[in-house]
Amino acid sequence: MAIERMAIVGKGAVGLLYGSIAAAHLDAGAVTYVMDDARFERHRHDRTLINGVQCDIETLPVSALSGERPFDLIVLATKATSLDQALDTMEALVGPNTCIISLLNGIRSERIIAERFGWQHTVLSVAQGMDAVFLHGELTYTHPGEIRFGAAEETNPGVVDSIAAFFRRAGIPHTVEANIEHRLWTKFMLNVGINQTCMAYGGTYGTATAPGEQNRCFIAAMREAMAVARAEGIELTEQDLGDMVDLIASIDPAGIPSMAQDRVAHRRTEVEEFAGAVIHLAEQHGILVPQNRWLYDRIREIETNW
Ligand SMILES: NC(=O)C1=CN([C@@H]2O[C@H](COP(=O)(O)OP(=O)(O)OC[C@H]3O[C@@H](n4cnc5c(N)ncnc54)[C@H](OP(=O)(O)O)[C@@H]3O)[C@@H](O)[C@H]2O)C=CC1
Ligand SMILES: CC(C)(CO)C(=O)C(=O)O
């Protein structure tokens, strides 16, 4: 099935980044942001900038779509903390052939989506390599990164190809992965390390990759994620770890990951998806994860003091 119309749920760093790239390559009306009515009212008069240029992409409250035909593709780009609410909004957008791709970090969002909408049109994916910062209504980035995705066991044949064909036309950098499960866990390992370290210390990509305490925390937290992944049957390697560290070292040293942006903006973080998930799995497999336990407590402590 050819994808013509994409809805994006989540108009923050990642949603704006890929939505604006797609809108610049496609005809008007091909990209629409959709949100619940209360959020739409809250943001109605926002002036959103992307690298200094105003973003005027169509944005609709979900109630404006009743009776409309379903979208061909839904890109989910909210934080995990509001996934359930985003899925309620998606009910009005999804039809029998709607493809779904989640750019949320962590290893759980696709399973939660599939419990509601099925696996047939849902793929597994990660967004990585960008230096996107969205604060005070402006997205800035120099590297767009890319979306890596692939079929889950029960994804219908053809769904990955349809999304790839659309991304090509939309100018969205992407790679189709033969082993997307491995990529998902590699990205998870990275987020467990870099997101939580920069949040806990108020650090940057530069401070976390320079020798010192932040770097030790970054690497130790990743190693614990690696141990848990292996216990789950995912063979993450030293090469995977090194590649992820190199990726962070290659982007703007002054940049900060999404969780550190949450610290600046006082937004509830995704710690449950990172240290929370590591601790949960570690308990099942009898693995010691002191670095992630410390990060969990420290991040919760910071959140509590806002
Ligand atoms: N930032 C990055 O560089 C990267 C982030 N990620 C992951 O992508 C996901 C999104 O992150 P990011 O873009 O940084 O997050 P942001 O906080 O920048 O943006 C999230 C957006 O989603 C909106 N939102 C929240 N709930 C809903 C809802 N129910 N319906 C519609 N919109 C909603 C928020 O609106 P409001 O402000 O009103 O709450 C906000 O505009 C996260 O899982 C993150 O870990 C992955 C790769 C890179
Ligand atoms: C990889 C990284 C750190 C940015 O590309 C990210 O996923 C995030 O900011 O959440």
Domains of the chain, start order: 6-178 (3.40.50.720), 181-304 (1.10.1040.10)
- HSE, side-chain direction, 13 A CA sphere, residue 179: 8
Mean pLDDT in residue range 39-65: 96
Whole-structure pTM value: 0.96
The confidence band for 67, taking pLDDT boundaries of 50, 70 and 90, is confident
- pLDDT one-digit tens code per residue, 226-238: 999 999 999 999 9
Report which ligand 2 atom has the smallest distance to the Cα of 205. Answer: 3
Asked if pLDDT for residue 57 goes beyond 90, the answer is yes
Whether ligand 1 lies within 6 angstroms of the CB of 32 is answered as no
- pLDDT of the residue at 1: 76
- Quote the ligand 2 centre to 219 CA distance (angstroms): 15
- pLDDT of the residue at 183: 97
Q: What is the ipTM of this complex?
A: 0.98
Whether ligand 1 lies within 6 angstroms of the CB of 148 is answered as no
Asked if pLDDT for residue 44 goes beyond 90, the answer is yes
Whether ligand 2 lies within 6 angstroms of the CB of 186 is answered as no
Whether ligand 2 lies within 6 angstroms of the CB of 12 is answered as no
Cβ neighbours for 248, distance < 8 A, ≥ 6 positions apart: 190, 194, 205, 208, 209
- pLDDT of the residue at 68: 87
Tokens of 72: 């061909």
For residue 152, the one-letter residue type is: A
Whether ligand 2 lies within 6 angstroms of the CB of 261 is answered as no
Give the span between the Cα atoms of 269 and 195, in whole angstroms.
10
Hey, whose CA ends up nearest to atom 10 of ligand 2?
258
Which of the ligands is closest to the CA of residue 85? 1
Secondary structure, 3-state, the chain: CCCCCEEEECCCHHHHHHHHHHHHHCCCCCEEEEECHHHHHHHCCCCCEECCEECCCCEEEHHHHCCCCCCCEEEECCCHHHHHHHHHHHCCCCCCCCEEEECCCCCCHHHHHHHHHCCCCEEEEEEEEECCEEECCEEECCCEEEEEEEECCCCCCCHHHHHHHHHHHHCCCEEECCCHHHHHHHHHHHHHHHHHHHHHHCCCHHHHHCCCHHHHHHHHHHHHHHHHHHHCCCCCCHHHHHHHHHHHHCCCCCCCCHHHHHHHHCCCCCCCCCHHHHHHHHHHHCCCCHHHHHHHHHHHHHHHCC
Whether ligand 1 lies within 6 angstroms of the CB of 251 is answered as no
Asked if pLDDT for residue 292 goes beyond 80, the answer is yes
- pLDDT of the residue at 78: 98
Give the span between the Cα atoms of 80 and 233, in whole angstroms.
24
- Quote the ligand 2 centre to 155 CA distance (angstroms): 26
Which of the ligands is closest to the CA of residue 60? 1
Give the span between the Cα atoms of 203 and 214, in whole angstroms.
8
Hey, whose CA ends up nearest to atom 1 of ligand 2?
128
Asked if pLDDT for residue 3 goes beyond 80, the answer is yes
Asked if pLDDT for residue 300 goes beyond 80, the answer is yes
Which of the ligands is closest to the CA of residue 273? 1
Dihedral of alpha carbons 205, 207, 212, 216, sign: negative
Which of the ligands is closest to the CA of residue 130? 2
Whether ligand 1 lies within 6 angstroms of the CB of 79 is answered as yes
Report which ligand 2 atom has the smallest distance to the Cα of 257. Answer: 9
Hey, whose CA ends up nearest to atom 2 of ligand 2?
257
Compute CA distances 120 → 76, 98, 99, 115, 148, whole Å: 16, 10, 8, 11, 18
- pLDDT of the residue at 2: 94
Mean pLDDT in residue range 86-102: 97
Give the span between the Cα atoms of 15 and 176, in whole angstroms.
20
Which of the ligands is closest to the CA of residue 252? 2
Per-chain mean pLDDT for the chain: 97
- Quote the ligand 2 centre to 128 CA distance (angstroms): 6
- Quote the ligand 2 centre to 258 CA distance (angstroms): 6
- Quote the ligand 1 centre to 211 CA distance (angstroms): 31
CB of 123 closer than 8 Å to CB of 152: yes
Whether ligand 1 lies within 6 angstroms of the CB of 12 is answered as yes
CA 169 to chain centre: 22
- Quote the ligand 1 centre to 11 CA distance (angstroms): 7
CB of 76 closer than 8 Å to CB of 103: yes
Assign residue 260 a region (left: φ > 0; alpha: ψ between -120 and 50; beta: otherwise): alpha
Look at residues 99, 143, 108, 153 and name the one whose alpha carbon lies nearest to residue 126. 108
